[in-house]
Amino acid sequence: MVQLGIIRNSIVLLLAVLLLSCIDKKQTNTEINIVSAKIDVPKFNVDSAYLYIQKQVDFGPRVPNTIEHEKCANYLARTLERFGASVIVQEAFVNRYDGVNMNMKNIIGSFNPESYKRILLCAHWDTRFLADNDTVEVTKPIMGANDGGSGVGVLLEIARQIQISPLEIGIDIIFFDVEDQGQPNGEFNKSSSDSWCLGSQYWAKNPHETNYFADYGILLDMVAGENARFTREGVSEKFASRIVDKVWQMGRKIGFSNFFVDEKTPGIIDDHLYINSIIHIPTINIVEYDNTTHNKFNKHHHKHSDNMSIIDKTTLHAVGQTVLGVLYNE
């Protein structure tokens, strides 16, 4: 009887040890899962992004067929390469609405080109060849600090952060050319809405890689205006509402609900229209909407006042940090 009791007690003790071991192991696994779920999102350096905009503006207006355009193209390609991207400059001649033959340069930087899962980030880098919304020097080109420069500045800073904190997914950054050379309002010769966004139209029909596809795309346009409001733009809603949800939820989550407002507004003609309709990559547009202006854009749109004085670092930070948050949570 004594020996049987000892054996019974030993068995009970052994079972207790095994149970505690399982509990500890379960807790350890839970702790590991919690740690692994923590995502470190890089801090968007707004001063860096601002300097990238300033650098573009320092070249002068970036109108195709000009030396300023050529110099800026070289700078953008070199900078993407410096940040570790594989760079392709897609060149072609495209006809402006009035017959002018324009030397187009789409600048494409790819991170992890071997990765199947890809996200497309894009902005246009050319500037308007005339100030058709202004009342002075209407025939002269604009600086385009916000309209053109701001989106590129944000994406260059994102490229720099990707180099510092690499992602496993593939990222393609495209700076589209000849976006802003379309037919002015009020002109009816050869009237066509497709006179805009010639660089993205060309790329969508002739992608830099055979059978190229991305899970989704984000276009940035006029993303540095003071107190800018980014609404759920109509084309984005039609083709990629789930991506609008993803980006706007991130913006609100990290404290930028005053920028990313939950308001649906009419669709616009921009590069994302052709990405969606031609190559069928669901792409959204983060673009300022201002219902107090005649064209619902920034009040400096296509005016000489679109210079560095209107670039707002708070807005830049809101957009840049939100996009980084989206990327690093994939």
* C-alpha to C-alpha distances, 115 to 169, 214, 215, 284, nearest whole angstrom: 6, 11, 12, 22
Instruction: Tell me the pTM.
Output: 0.88
What's the CA dihedral at 155, 179, 231, 121 to 10 degrees? -30
Structure-token pair, residue 64:
């195709």
DSSP assignment of 286-329 equals EEB--TTSTTSS-TTTTSTT-SGGG--HHHHHHHHHHHHHHHHT
Structure-token pair, residue 277:
């309709």
115, 104, 126, 111: which is closest to 203 by C-alpha? 104
For position 191, what pLDDT does the model report? Answer: 53
pLDDT tens for the chain, 330 residues long, are 344 444 444 444 444 444 445 545 444 444 444 344 568 999 999 999 999 999 999 999 999 999 999 999 999 999 999 999 999 999 999 999 999 999 999 999 999 999 999 999 999 999 999 999 999 999 999 999 999 999 999 999 999 999 999 999 999 999 999 999 999 975 544 456 699 999 999 999 999 999 999 999 999 999 999 999 999 999 999 999 999 999 999 999 999 999 999 999 999 999 999 999 999 999 999 999 999 998 899 999 999 999 999 999 999 999 999 999 999 999
Residue 24: strand, helix, or coil: helix
For position 123, what pLDDT does the model report? Answer: 99
For position 229, what pLDDT does the model report? Answer: 98
Measure the CA–CA gap between 152 and 132, rounded to whole angstroms: 23
For position 39, what pLDDT does the model report? Answer: 80
For position 186, what pLDDT does the model report? Answer: 52
CA angle 116, 325, 289 (to 5 degrees): 105
